[in-house]
Structure 1
Amino acid sequence: MKAAQFSRFGDPDVLELVDLPDPHPGPGQVRIIVRAVGISATDVKLRAGLVDFGDGLPQTTGRDVSGVVDEIGEGVVDVQLGDRIFGVSDVGAGAAELALVTHRALIPDGLGFIDAAALPVGLETATRGLDQLGVGSGTTLLINGASGGVGSTAVQLAVARGARVIGTASAANNEFVRLLGAEPVAYGEGMSQRVRALAPCGVDAALDVAGSGVLPDLIDLAGRAENVLTLADFEGAKQHGVRFSTGFQGHAFHALGTIGSLIQSGRFWLPVERTFPLDQIAQAHRLSERGHIRGRIVLIVQ
Structure 2
Amino acid sequence: MRGIKRLMDDRFALVCIGFLFLVLIAGIFAPLFAPHSPYEMNVKEKFSGISWDYPLGTDQLGRCIFSRLLYGIRTTVFLSLLTMVITILIGTMLGMLAGVFRGKMDEIIMRICDVFLSFPSEVMILAIIGMMGPGLLNVVLATIIAKWAWYTRMIRSVVLQYTDQHYIQVAKVAGCGTTHIVRRHILPAATGELSVLATLDAGAVILMISALSFLGLGVQAPMPEWGMMLNEAKNVMVVHPYQMLAPGLAILFVVAAFQFVGDSLQDAWNVKRVSRRR
TM-score, normalised by the number of residues in structure 1: 0.25
| Structure with the higher fraction of residues in strand conformation | 1
| Structure with the higher fraction of residues in helix conformation | 2
TM-score, normalised by the number of residues in structure 2: 0.26
